[in-house]
């Protein structure tokens, strides 16, 4: 374990103060070694109640919601302060999330911190009031103004796979909009959030109660956040199953809900594409961070006549990726986050075999990995799109290859899923690519390797992949309400 990793003693951030958890502490574990890194503050129901109260007071009684210039300054201040802790944050992220070092210079750390500057600019430059002109409904001449205002108190519940990216994708736009936040991060990555709380408390001018962070191993605190009537909005990223529960829990108070949920995205290869190159790319991408990404393309759809070629190329690419120490600069596929998650992935591999699938490469634990929650990159063939492993989100380095009989059939198969989060299309004919892109019902699509992740680009899904959008102007506006003001003239 690196000497840079934060020692025991992480604290909650509630009402501007760093405080111990009411339930004591709980262990945070290195998934690459199975060793306990140390202890994190364990919040309880009283802590969550205090955090919600602090956020409510900061929104209702403070000036935060009315001062976009100050909010922008605080966001830049937070960005710059976090950059001063970048190496400490990097080592925590590698050790706690099992994130490959190579990813921390991009979406696992440095990218999301930099994105805070984008939301600072939005706070400064967004048009908060729009003149709709005059009208005379019912003969009464009226001038109309559309005003956008912050939603209020936001409860943010986040997962462990990209802790900084997802935490900042909620905190950044919510603060820029003028909302206050209670963050409940995943219990698997508490230190990632706790250090951010320490920086906010000690190195920024963000007012007390504007950001509150409650780490805990008690999932009941998430439910408490969802059902509390003092919370105006829930922003959740995680599984579709949990998302359903959050939507139901929020219904009693009819609070606004943003959900970014699961995916089973299709990588569509057209018959005019370079089959080997496309299949290799798909195989590589599903191994990154051990396949623990909701938007990864885990179904490879290839022309039937090129199926064998695609399988050979994908198998060659996957067999060349060896799971390893995420701290090493060259590691692509690190560990799964926990023994529980590895058991889940292994269960799906057993199901694939039971349903008649063939494991072409991988299919188990690396022989030389005595410790750590590692699973080999695995390629599965011989199963239809209706099979369990082609329909359900596995969240591991597992790719299923499925044949298609032309562009329309590929669209049909891609859409034959309860999810609609992401996808990819590879081909050379622009008109055919356009038809497939328009036909696939999903929130983001990559064409020939294009990258859609960016602070100014909205991300989210169709169907059971959630509702609303994160990032970009659309993601920022999730944290706003619209008020129409009509003045008699």
Residues designated catalytic = 260
| Distance in angstroms (rounded) separating the CA atoms of residues 146 and 237 | 30
Closest CA to 338 of 376, 290, 380, 284: 290
User: Which backbone phi and psi does 369 adopt, to 5 degrees?
Assistant: -105, 90
| Distance in angstroms (rounded) separating the CA atoms of residues 200 and 451 | 31
Place of tokens 């009989």: 405
| Distance in angstroms (rounded) separating the CA atoms of residues 399 and 356 | 15
Q: Looking at residue 270, what DSSP letter applies?
A: -
3-state class (DSSP) for residue 419? strand
Place of tokens 């986040």: 158
286: left (phi over 0), alpha (psi -120 to 50) or beta: alpha
Q: Looking at residue 327, what DSSP letter applies?
A: T
CB within 8 A of 56, min separation 6: which ones? 153, 180, 230
The answer to whether residues 176 and 476 touch, using CB atoms and an 8 Å cutoff, is: yes
C-alpha of 156 from chain center = 12
| Distance in angstroms (rounded) separating the CA atoms of residues 304 and 309 | 10
């Amino acid at each position: 374990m690196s000497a840079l990793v934060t020692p025991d003693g992480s604290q909650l951030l509630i009402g501007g103060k760093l405080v111990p958890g009411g339930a004591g502490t709980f262990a945070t574990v290195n998934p690459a070694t199975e060793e306990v890194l140390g202890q994190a503050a364990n919040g309880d129901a009283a802590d969550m109640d205090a955090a919600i109260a602090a956020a409510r007071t900061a929104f209702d009684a403070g000036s935060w919601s009315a001062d976009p210039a100050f909010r922008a300054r605080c966001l830049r201040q937070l960005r710059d302060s976090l950059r001063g802790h970048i190496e400490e944050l990097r080592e925590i992220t590698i050790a706690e999330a099992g994130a490959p070092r190579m990813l921390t210079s991009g979406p696992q750390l440095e990218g999301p911190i930099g994105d805070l500057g984008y939301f600072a600019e939005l706070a400064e430059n967004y048009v908060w009031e729009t003149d709709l002109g005059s009208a005379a409904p019912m003969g009464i001449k009226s001038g109309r103004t559309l005003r956008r205002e912050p939603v209020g108190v936001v409860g943010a519940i986040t997962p462990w796979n990209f802790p900084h990216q997802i935490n900042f994708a909620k905190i950044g736009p919510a603060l820029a909009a003028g909302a206050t936040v209670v963050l409940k991060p995943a219990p698997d990555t508490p230190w990632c959030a706790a250090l951010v709380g320490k920086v906010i408390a000690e190195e920024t001018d963000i007012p007390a109660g504007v950001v509150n962070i409650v780490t805990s191993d008690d999932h009941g605190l998430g439910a408490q956040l969802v059902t509390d009537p003092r919370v105006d909005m829930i922003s959740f990223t995680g599984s579709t199953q949990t998302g359903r529960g959050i939507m139901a829990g929020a219904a009693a108070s009819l609070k606004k809900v943003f959900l970014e949920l699961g995916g089973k995205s299709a990588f569509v290869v057209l018959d005019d594409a370079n089959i080997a190159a496309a299949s290799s790319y798909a195989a590589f991408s599903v191994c990154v961070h051990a396949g623990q990404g909701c938007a990864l393309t885990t179904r490879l759809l290839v022309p039937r006549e090129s199926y064998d070629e695609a399988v050979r190329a994908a198998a060659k690419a996957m067999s060349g990726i060896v799971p390893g120490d995420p701290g090493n600069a060259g590691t692509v596929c690190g560990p799964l986050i926990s023994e529980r998650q590895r058991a889940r992935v292994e269960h799906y591999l057993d199901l694939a075999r039971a349903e008649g699938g063939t494991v072409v490469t991988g299919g188990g634990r690396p022989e030389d990995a005595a410790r750590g929650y590692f699973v080999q990159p695995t390629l599965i063939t011989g199963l239809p799109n209706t099979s369990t492993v082609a329909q359900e989100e596995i969240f591991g380095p597992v790719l299923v290859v499925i044949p298609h009989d032309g562009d329309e059939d590929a669209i049909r198969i891609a859409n034959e899923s309860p999810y609609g989060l992401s996808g990819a299309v590879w081909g050379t004919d622009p008109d055919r690519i356009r038809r497939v892109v328009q036909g696939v019902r999903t929130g983001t699509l990559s064409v020939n390797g294009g990258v859609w992740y960016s602070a100014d680009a909205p991300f989210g899904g169709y169907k059971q992949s959630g509702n609303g959008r994160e990032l970009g102007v659309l993601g920022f506006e999730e944290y706003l309400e619209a008020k129409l003001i009509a003045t008699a003239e």
